[in-house]
Amino acid sequence: MSLTKDESRALISKILAFSRADECSVSIEGEDSANLRFASNEVTTSGSTSNIVASITSSFGKRSGSASINQFDDAALERTVRRSEETARFAPEDPERMPMLGEQRFIEPGGFDEATAHAAPEVRALVAKRAIEVAKSRKVVAAGFFTNSGQYSAIGNSKGLFGFTRQSLATFSSTARTADGTGSGWAGSNSESIARFDPAALAKTAVDKAFLSARPRSLEPGTYTTILEPAAVADLLQYMTFSLDARSSDEGRSFFAVRGGGNKIGQKVLSEQFSLSSDPGDPRLPAAPFTGEGFPTARVPWIEQGNVRNLGYSRFWAQKQNKEPVPFPQNLIMAGGTGSVADLIKSTKRGVLVTRLWYIRFVDPQSILLTGLTRDGTFLVENGRIKYPVKNFRWNDSPISVFSKMDAMSVAVRTRGSESEDFPIICPAIRTQFTFSSLSDAV
């Protein structure tokens, strides 16, 4: 079951009519999703889900309470409104609570493809079939995951706010292992439209990487000139983005803090080649036009030519600091260069090529120092060519250091990282300095 914009508006209006609170807001989240998993060159599982949830928040002064429901007859809706009001009356006052927003204007992003949102089981089966056929033809073992979904979100409140948006998304990844178990390759992508990526081509990339990475040799850990493919860059971008928060910076809890108070807006912190923005209206990776409380989203330049231009400001912190609110990014767009990963390899005298990163965790959040592993294809590059595969590494480094030392980039492409399959990112491969701390025998 999916609600249209008009049906969502009518449901929100009905819920608000039951309210006795000073302020009341309603959010509706709906999703139809399906998935298919394959392993050992066979389909193993598949499934689908459909759900709609309405969340109601009632406020009396600075006291607020919430309740949710997924059945929509009048009696159930009224009970849920009363439950949210009862919760609010017993809740402690929130000194940071902001008044609900009134009517807002939102952009109209794209991002919805009916064929992707409601793809038939045969479509998912064909995706798996193509990937498996590629693996079988090369005598390797493939495993992977494919999902397609359609989501919609509606918000409204007693002060006249209403917004509605819907999006579709398809995600795919394939991992291939050589018969002797020593080589592994991976490729993956996501898009609003299944038609925008080629699962067979991605599966072939994974198979090619598997053969190329077979029988790896040991390479001494250390700091190397390193080419990070887009999937690896995407993960580092996401972890750095966690710190793009004005409050944690102003309070001295972030890399973007200034000793003695304040933040680094206006300061140069990364390479001049580095620029990062978010834009929900970018047709390459459209995102939601509003935040959960109904604040409009728009293009935000976060870092330009290495200089910090913006940090995220909640409505409360913006008011406290006499600033304009800046919503946190719902997509990431890193500016790229020219050429391909192959061009970066050709121009590298000696270094390491990394396909992707894995099992990333914080070591020191304030400096954004991370640790993790390389996976599914790590190689020594010499004189512009891949010389041989090397064993995987554990690494310890910070996106700040990595993006400060980069000296070359490929074109930027739509990609996905290992840590998030559905967050929309455009970024290039980069060449930089990267620290590998120890070897890993894991394939």
- Residue 196 carries which DSSP code? G
Q: Please tell me the predicted confidence (pLDDT) of residue 13.
A: 98
The residues pairing with 58 across neighbouring beta strands, listed in sequence order, are 24, 65
- The two tokens of residue 145 are 């995951």
Alpha-carbon distance of 20 to 29, in angstroms, equals: 23
Q: Which residues pair with 353 in a beta bridge?
A: 227, 379
Predicted confidence at residue 53, as pLDDT, reads: 97
- In angstroms, the CA 312 to CA 247 distance is 8
The answer, yes or no, to whether residue 377 has pLDDT greater than 80, is: yes
Kindly give the residue spans of alpha helices, DSSP state H, lying in 311-397: 315-320, 341-346
What does the alpha-carbon distance between residue 320 and residue 318 come to, in Å, rounded to a whole number? 5
In tens, the pLDDT along 384-421 reads 999 999 999 999 999 999 999 999 999 999 999 988 88
The per-residue pLDDT for range 71-130, each reduced to its tens digit, is 999 999 999 999 999 999 999 999 999 999 999 999 987 889 999 999 999 999 999 999
Confidence band for 199, pLDDT divided at 50, 70 and 90: confident
Asked if 136 and 41 touch (Cβ cutoff 8 Å), the reply is yes
- pTM for this model (two decimals): 0.95
Taking only the tens place, the pLDDT of each residue in 320-371 is 999 999 999 999 999 999 999 999 999 999 999 999 999 999 999 999 999 9
C-alpha to C-alpha distance for 135 and 119, rounded to whole angstroms: 24
User: CA torsion sign, 255 to 259 to 264 to 268?
Assistant: negative
Residue 211: what pLDDT? 97
Amino acid at 36: L
Between 419 and 221, the more confident residue is 221
